[in-house]
Each structure stands twice: as structure tokens, then as C-alpha cells.
Structure 1
């Protein structure tokens, strides 16, 4: 399968597959965010998810895929540091604000800086039409944030902190998107990068979650928490794996922008599953996000 994927790099078939992977990653990432924000404390959920996907990745990393080239270990270390910072910021943001408040800002900040990073590192350029699409998408995403800031009545005291943490988290989204694209392109076999990335990435949050769990006066029951972690681990493989493969097959900037249609999916999940209020203004802003992503794709 690795040889087949590598053969598609830079081809029209590779572009189409990257498009499918990026949109799939958008939906799955919204599901992933909802799992972290949902029933349990975000720190506990993230710890359970990371433990699950590290455990699932271990046999593939150790016994199935080729071992990483020696020069890949510093790259893995860099990815580890960036993702730990991202996850800590994300967890703090979710403790301060609701899912439909935090998620749009996180995902809205990411694509702008990812496009800039793709230009600086991979020499990718966007057409004027694509930049228009980026502008439309960002207008929708940050419009959601402004709307929440003005009209949201719940969590008013913590809303400014939630938005600032979400903004900073978005910067790290752009950083890991660009860095992971560099990493998965650096190794001969993309599945080697994916297997070892998930194994290494899952080492930090579980101990933090255990410490937090032990300090709780009324800790939640472990079976439902671990079930959520297992489901989240599967979703993480599909979501992060899809976007990483998309950035190897095609342009990093386009994949990053298309993934941010996850904001639309997130709002729908927040409304239908988490029972958060989504009015007509927010629906219109979500439509703007989708239109921006379509413009980026058609303008390429």
C-alpha cells in the first residue's frame, strides 16, 4: 500500500485522494473534538484517547512497518514537543469555554498560518482566487467567534480567556500541520511515520490524566472513560492519519484549509449531540466557511 500511495504523489489521482482525505479528516476531527469536550473532564478524556492510540500503534511500529531512518528521531522529538503543547493548550481552552466557542477559533487560526508556513517551507503558492477563498473561510470562522463574544450569555466570565487560549492553540495547529507534513515527507514509508508518531505522541497525556484522576474527589467510572478513549483513539488514527497522508500526496496549504470545514461539522455536532444552541446567524456563518473551502479547491 505504501508503494501505491507514493506512486500517486504529484498526480491528479493523488490530488483527488488528498481532497477526500482532507474532508474526511475535517469530519473526523470535529468528532474527535466533541469526544474530548463531551461527558468527561477534557484532561481525562485526552489521556484515555492517547493511551488507546499509543497502545494500538505499538505493534505496528515495532513489528509491521519498516523502522525509521536514524535522521527521523530528531524529527519525531520535534513533533512530540509541538503536539504536547497543542494538547495542553486545547485542554485548557475546553475547560474555559464551550465546544462551539473554542473550536471555531482554534480551527480558524490554523489554516492562515499553515498556508504561510507551506509557502516558506514547501514553496507552495495560492492563486488570487484561493486567497479569496481563504478570506471567506476565515471571515466565517472568526465571525462565529465574534458572534459568540457578543451574544453568548453562558460562560461570560471565562470567555475572554477561552478565546485567547483558542487563538494560541490555533497557532500550534498550524505549526503541527506544517511540521507533520515535513516529517511524513522525510521518511521513505509514510506508514512508518504514522505508526511511530502515534506511539510516541501518546506517552505524555496518560500520566497527567492519572494524576488528575487520583486527585478528584468524585472520579468518574473507568469503563465509560476508557470506552470513550478507545473510540477516540480510532477516530484519531483516521483523522490525523488522513490529513498527514493528504499533505504528503498534495499541497499542504490546500489540505490545511479544507480540513477547517471541520468547524461546520463541529457546530452541527455541538447542536445535535452536545445540545448547544446554534441559531440562524451561526448557520449562515458556517455556510460561509463551507463556501470559502469550495473557492479554495476550485481556484487551485
Structure 2
């Protein structure tokens, strides 16, 4: 599989594969966010997911895939710190704000800075048409957040700090997208990066939520563990898909296409959480999709 991935890098087939992977990551990331925002404490939900994917990744990292080259260890250390900051900001966001409001803000902030970061790090440059597509996508995403903010009736007193944390989380999204794209390109086998990332990353949230676990009712342990295992597999395919997309093709384009996750999040909110999707929200979601198409076609 690693040889097949390497054969696609920088090719037209690789571009198409990256497109499909970015869209897959978009859907799965929206599902991942909904899993963390469910009825459980978002800190414990994230901790259960991280512990699960760390345990599952361990045998693959230690015994299946090649071990990282020596120069990869500082890269893993940097990724650990960046993702720790992201998770803290994300948990504080979900703890304070309605999912359908804060999620679009997080996802709207991320791609704008990721495109800029990719320009500095990977010398990628968007055309004027692609920047127009980014503008359409961001208008749809932030419009969706504003519309949802106007319609919510609970939790409004904590919405202002929630939005602040959402912007901070979006900044971390851009940072880890660019940094991890650099990391997965720095090793010969992309699956080495993915296996060791999940193995090492799985320790942080369980450790800092230890006291919260002690207050969890016994009846909630099994449902939370089930959510953690489910989230672990969603995380593997979501993060793995976007990271492989950034190795195969442009980082900036993959980052923008992934933010169609906002459309999937709205659909999840409608189908699973029972939230209404009227004509205005439908139009805003269409604007997001149109922006992604323009970015792809104008490239």
C-alpha cells in the first residue's frame, strides 16, 4: 500500500485520489465532531476516543509498520504539542456553545489560514479564481454560523466565549493541517507517521481528564467506551484520509475541500440531532459546496 501511495504522488491520478480523500475526511470529521458533542462531557468523550485509538494503534506502530527515522521524533513532539492545544481549545468550545454554531466557525477559520500557511511552507499559491472560491466557501460557513446563532434559544449566555474559543480552535486546525502535512511528507512510509501519531497522541486527554473519570457514574462508563471506540475508527479514516490527501497533492486545496464538513455537520444536526434545515440554511450550504467546486475547477 505504501508503494502504491508513493506511485500516485504528484500525478493526475493522485490529484483525483486526494480530492476523494479530502471529501471523505469532510464527512467523517463532521461525524467525529458530533460524537464529541453528544450527551457526555466533551472532555470525557474526547478522552475516550483518544484512549481507544491510542490502544488500537499501539501494535501497528510497534510491530507492523517501519519505525520512524531518527529525524521524525522532534516532528512527533511538535505534533503532540499542537494537537494538545487544539484539543483543549475544542473541548472548551463544545462545552460552551451549540454545535451548529461553533462548528462552522472552527471549520471556517481553519482553511483560510491553512492556505496561507501552505503558501509559506510548501510554496503553494492559489489563483485569483481559487481565492474567489475560498471567499464563497467562507461566506457560506460564517453565514451558517450567524444564522444558527440567531435561532438558538439555549446557551446564549456562554456563546460569546464559545465563539472566541471556536476561532482559536480554527487557528489550531490550520496549524496542525500544515504541520502534519510536513510531517507525513518527511517519512518514507506515510503509515509510519499515522500509526505513531495515533499511538503517541492517545495519551494526552486521558491523562488530563483523570479526575473527571472518577466522577463518571458507573452506568455511563460502557456507553462512553462504546462512543470512544466508534470515534477512534472515525478518527483513523478522517485524519488518515486528509493526511494522505496532503501527501498526494496540494495542502491548501485539501484543507479547503475538507471544510465542506460544515455541510455534513448541518445534515447530521438535521438527521440525528433533530435540528431544522430550512431554505436559508440550504442556500448557505449550497454556497459552501459552490465555493469548494470553484476552488477545484479554478486550480
TM-score range, shorter chain: over 0.9
Cα drift, residue 207 of structure 1: 2.1
1:285 matched to 2:288: no
The residue number in structure 2 matching 1:49 is 49
d(CA) in 2 for partners of 1:276 and 1:42? 20
Shift, 1:181, TM fit: 0.1
Structure 1 residue 219 displacement after superposition: 6.0
Q: Structure 1 residue 241 and structure 2 residue 263: aligned? A: no
3-state DSSP of counterpart to 1:277: coil
**Residues of 1 paired with 2:276 and 2:30: CA distance?**
17
1:135-174 pair list within 5 angstroms: 135-174=135-174
Q: Which runs of 5+ in 2 are unaligned?
A: none
* TM-score calculated relative to the size of structure 1: 0.97
Contact 2:28–2:238 (Cα < 8 Å) also in 1: yes
Deviation string 1:26-47 (CA, Å, 9 cap, x unpaired) is: 0000000000001211111101
**2:82 aligned partner:** 82
Number of positions where the alignment pairs a residue of Structure 1 with one of Structure 2: 299
Deviation at 1:220, TM superposition (A): 5.0
Partner of 2:112: 112
Contact 1:38 1:274 in 2 (8 A): no
Q: For residue 24 of structure 1, what is the aligned residue in structure 2?
A: 24
Q: Secondary structure at the match of 1:157?
A: helix
Q: Name the SS for the 1:45 alignment partner.
A: helix
Matched, 1:100 2:100: yes
What is the alpha-carbon distance in structure 2 between the residues aligned to residue 94 and residue 56 of structure 1?
26
State the 1:295 CA deviation. 0.6
| TM-score normalised by length of structure 2 | 0.97
Contact 1:24 1:242 in 2 (8 A): yes
Residue in 2 aligned with 1:196?
Answer: 196
Tell me, what secondary structure is at the counterpart of 2:156?
coil
CA deviation after TM superposition for structure 1 residue 7, in Å: 1.1
**What secondary structure does 2:209 align onto?**
helix
Q: Deviations over 1:46-97 (max 9, x none)?
A: 0110001001110010001111011100000000000011011111100111
Contact 2:184 2:243 in 1 (8 A): yes
For the structure 1 residues 220 and 91, does the alpha-carbon distance in structure 2 shift closer, same or farther, using more than 3 Å as the test? Answer: farther
Worse-matched range after superposition: 142-151 or 194-203: 142-151
Q: CA–CA distance in 1 between the matches of 2:219 and 2:194?
A: 32
Rounded Cα–Cα distance in structure 2 between residues aligned with 1:99 and 1:150:
14
- 1:100–1:276 CA contact under 8 A, matched in 2: no
> In the aligned structure 1, how far is the partner of 2:91 from the partner of 2:61?
27
Bigger Cα displacement from structure 2, 281-290 vs 230-239:
281-290
For structure 1, list consecutive stretches of 5 or more residues without a partner in the other structure. Answer: none
C-alpha separation between the residues in 2 aligned to 1:194 and 1:246? Answer: 13
How many angstroms apart in 1 are the aligned matches of 2:276 and 2:149?
Answer: 14
**Residue deviations 1:170-191, cap 9 Å, x none?**
0000000000000000011100
**1:13 matched to which residue of 2?**
13
| Secondary structure of 1:158 counterpart | helix
**Cα RMSD between the aligned structures?**
1.1
Partner of 1:34: 34
SS in structure 1 at match of 2:182: helix
The whole-number CA distance in structure 2 between the counterparts of 1:220 and 1:31 is 24
Residue of structure 2 equivalent to 1:224 = 223
Maintained 8 Å contact 2:22/2:241: yes
Residues 234 and 221 (structure 1), Cα distance of their counterparts in 2 relative to 1, 3 Å cut: same
Q: 3-state SS of the aligned residue for 1:132?
A: helix
Report the CA distance between 1:297 and its aligned residue. 0.8
